[in-house]
Chain A
Amino acid sequence: MQFNSFLFLFFLLTVVILNYFLSSRYRLSFLLFSSFVFIGYFSLASLVAVLFFSIVNFYIAKNISGRSFLYVISLLFNVSAIVLFNYFNTSTQGISFKLSEVSFNIGSFIVALGLSFYSLQNIAYITDIYFKRSTPQHSILKYVLYNSFFPKVVSGPVLLPNELMPQMSDNRPSAQMLASGINRLLTGLLKKMVIADRLFPAVQEIFDTPETYNGLTTLAGVYLFTLQLYFDFSGYTDMALGAAKMLGYDLKENFNLPLRSLSITEFWRRWHISLISWFSNYIYYPVVYRLRAYKKTAVFIGVAATFLVSAVWHGIGLTFLLWALCHVIYMSFELLTKSFRTNLSVRVPVMFYKLFSIFIVFNAVCFSNIFFRAHSATHAFQLIKNIFSNFIPTNWMRDFVAPLAQSGNLNELFNGITTVVITLLVLLFERSLTKKGNETKINIGYIIMCVMLIMVFGVFSNAERFIYMQF
């Protein structure tokens, strides 16, 4: 049940209506039941997995106080779940085994819907209780709902226990929340269906055949991937937050105009915020605190450790390690040149400094994303080699327009131009779009605009899975 499907919209509408009119004492149970239906629709194994990990962690937390051995075991239990999931997710076969005459092949994706996300939540919960920063939850119903709440189970946002569980009351969602949820849901659908999915074919073409294209075409593909990733994931997040709001819950923001960042450090404060704040709380700060005697070196090691864990969390493979290495280098460079950059910023015109910084940050992010998207390190290096050789296409129609606009015929060219124009317009007016998406009243004009744009330009027939569903 993809968020960008009619089935999900119908499911959500039903759940929202029933949740609103249901007697308050049944509301939480109903949300839990709805989440089970949502997860179970993906696969029964995913439902069993979320139940299993939630129950085990719930009971570990109850007995963990002062037991460091149990804490280490529980950490190993949750971390190995993520690593194993990522390992099998990287292999194409999934887990295969034979029992008597019956063969089983469990596609890893289906087994573990959202496992990487809720395992981080479980680690946070157990750690906070072990270090006495919070107390164990008494209601198993609330704890299972914390892990399985359907608007965020697929790809987050990653929530700390105190960010969701205190909201689990029997309150009915307010009219403002309902209105805000609808606005946000439509904003997400617009980003996903009108931009991300329209960018997908060109990105796929460039990244699937890395040996084929010249520098400019490859560079365009790399830029388009960063835009696709952003609109895909922020679109998903908007939909998740919108759906949760319609049920009376405020989830944590995941994006804050990251493509306007003036530095990589700022970029990571604006991109996938919930994951980064998890890494900050449970990896970066503990490492830096432990090594605080080494001052700057502690920060470098903290950054490196954070990105190393982030790489493993995203998947087992050299490409993610190289992606993480890029960001470690960027952030270390920024740390070393901080005073120089501060001096420079007051000596050059503000607008120039801002635009130049945005340009540099965007390019740096795009460069690292080559490793994030490429099928292998060899492919990634081939793409980088392409960018720095034969930059200008010899035949513009064949080598530039055709791969980016699929076959390059007039129809596809029109689609390509429309996609670029819409993407640029949305980027330009992103701040107002975000504001409209967060409005707590129904804006008829905005709803009509979103629906009409989706109907005229949205991708319905070949709707793509959300990119972050694979993690």
Chain B
Amino acid sequence: MRSVLGKLLVSFIVIWIALLGLSKLYDFALLHNSNVKASYIQKNKIDADLLILGTCQAVWIVQPSLIEKHTQLKTYNLGLNNSDFSDNYLYLYMYLKRNKTPEYLFLYISPETMDLHYSAFNTYRFATFVGDAVVDSVLKDCDNNYFKWTSIPFMRYAYYNNNVNFDVMQGLKHFLTNKTTPHFKDNGYEQAIHPIKETDPNAVVQIYPDGFVFTWSDLREKYLRKTIELAQQHNIKVTLYESPLLKEAILHLPNRMEMLRKIKSVAEEYGIEFVQFENMKIADSSKYFFSSVGLTTKGSVIFSDSLGKYIKNKIMKK
């Protein structure tokens, strides 16, 4: 029995050390992966004057170059695919730690972003930053099942290993090949990845065939508020914005107005603007949409141009 226990102890110690080493390797690889936005903003000085933040709608439909054309402000798109306000809050927090404070923040918001049915908090994105008090508090709040295991070496990566293994391999490749350019543009913009649906405008309204009733999430509201508060603590001028929504789709959303009223009341509480672009002409035609809220690349050019003009004429003149 002593020999069994002795060997088990040796195995345990070797595994513990190996997991610590593997953890360090994953940290290193992920920080060298230029395609991971969190790593990119850690490694590169962005120092933008205007930040775009939000879910995939923000990433795909706001082209910073078109905003810059009108405003002459250095603009960076910090939006994230499949994210919610907790991701946005942590990204803003990490951005502010390494970069100059921007003057303006444009935060994407829509009834969808306030409903847990859409998008999700992606814990694995912050595995590298476990140990930071702010990151830890959000992880504990949004994914405690994950957080409670993070004290075991490597468990912060093991828990969602399906989401990180590829990024680690890619990070090692980027390190070995000295690749520093990300797959997204230097200004953070990414093209929408739905080319198949772009050719089928009829599919757009089918997303809500029987109508969809939104449910307001208190957790989403909490992190919306925390994001606004974090920005205001740094004296950043915050604006909430919603991009155009396909007109046909509005018919299928019975409580959309009620959700918008709630968003407006939150904005008013903080003395910030909530800007909507639902009356833009492109909202009438499904050819500019790949989903009821997602603009195609053509649509995003038109919208970004309008947003740039709006910032120049309405926000910067204040």
Contacts and interface: CB of A to CB of B under 8 A. Distances in A.
B130 interface: no
A442 B19 CA distance: 20
B146 interface: yes
B161 A178 contact: no
Contacts of A178: 1, 4
B18 A452 contact: yes
Interface residues of B, number: 28
Contact of A418 (B3, B8, B146, B165): B165
A436 to B, nearest CB: 14
Interface in A433-471: 441-442, 444, 447-448, 451-452, 454-461
A456 B149 contact: no
A398 interface: yes
Given A458-B161, A460-B159, A179 B4 contact: yes
B14 A444 contact: yes
A435 to B, nearest CB: 18
B10 interface: yes
Nearest to B168: A456
Interface residues of A, number: 27
A387 to B, nearest CB: 25
B272 interface: no
A458 B18 CA distance: 16
B280 interface: no
A447 to B, nearest CB: 4
Contacts of B18: 448, 452
A411 B163 contact: yes
A159 interface: no
Contacts of A458: 158, 161
Contacts of A398: 196
Given A444-B11, A460-B161, A461-B159, A175 B166 contact: no
B22 A456 contact: yes
Interface string A192-234: 0000001000000000000000000000000000000000000
Nearest to A411: B166
Contacts of B19: 452, 455
Nearest to B183: A410
Contacts of A410: 166
Contacts of B165: 414-415, 418, 456-457
B214 interface: no
A410 B33 CA distance: 14
Contacts of A457: 161, 165
Interface string A10-30: 000000000000000000000
A461 B127 CA distance: 14
A182 interface: yes
Contacts of B154: 455
Contacts of A414: 165-166, 169
A8 interface: no
Nearest to B2: A175
Contacts of A441: 3-4, 7
Nearest to A182: B8
B162 A459 contact: yes
B8 A442 contact: yes
A211 B8 CA distance: 51
Nearest to A6: B149
Nearest to A451: B15
B304 to A, nearest CB: 25
Contacts of B84: none
B160 interface: yes
Contact of A175 (B4, B160, B167): B4
Nearest to B196: A398
A415 B8 contact: no
A18 B160 CA distance: 33
A62 to B, nearest CB: 40
Interface in B2-54: 3-4, 7-8, 10-11, 14-15, 18-19, 22
Contacts of B7: 441-442, 444
Interface in B119-149: 145-146, 149
B13 to A, nearest CB: 10
Contacts of B14: 444, 448
Contacts of B159: 460-461
A418 B3 CA distance: 36
B161 A444 contact: no
A461 B166 contact: no
Nearest to B160: A461
Interface in B160-186: 160-163, 165-167, 169
B11 A442 contact: yes
Q: Which of B3, B11, B22 has the most CB of A within 10 A?
A: B11
Interface in A161-182: 175, 178-179, 182
A461 B146 contact: yes
B118 to A, nearest CB: 16
A467 B241 CA distance: 47
A456 B196 contact: no
Nearest to A177: B4
Contacts of B158: 454-456, 458, 460
Contacts of A448: 11, 14-15, 18
B1 A175 contact: yes
Contacts of A6: 149
Nearest to A176: B4
A457 B22 CA distance: 13
Contacts of B160: 460-461
A178 B8 CA distance: 11
A438 to B, nearest CB: 16
Nearest to B15: A451
B17 to A, nearest CB: 10
A198 B167 CA distance: 18
Interface in A367-411: 398, 410-411
B15 A452 contact: yes
Interface of A: 6, 175, 178-179, 182, 198, 398, 410-411, 414-415, 418, 441-442, 444, 447-448, 451-452, 454-461
Interface of B: 1, 3-4, 7-8, 10-11, 14-15, 18-19, 22, 145-146, 149, 154-155, 158-163, 165-167, 169, 196
Closest 9 A/B residue pairs (Cβ): A442-B7, A414-B166, A411-B166, A175-B1, A455-B158, A447-B11, A175-B4, A460-B159, A444-B11
18 contacts: A178-B1, A410-B166, A414-B166, A415-B165, A418-B165, A442-B4, A444-B14, A447-B8, A447-B11, A448-B11, A448-B14, A452-B18, A454-B158, A455-B19, A455-B154, A456-B158, A458-B158, A460-B149
Given A178-B1, A447-B11, 20 more contacts: A6-B149, A175-B1, A410-B166, A411-B167, A414-B166, A415-B162, A418-B165, A441-B4, A442-B4, A444-B11, A447-B8, A448-B15, A452-B19, A452-B22, A455-B22, A455-B154, A455-B155, A455-B161, A456-B158, A457-B161
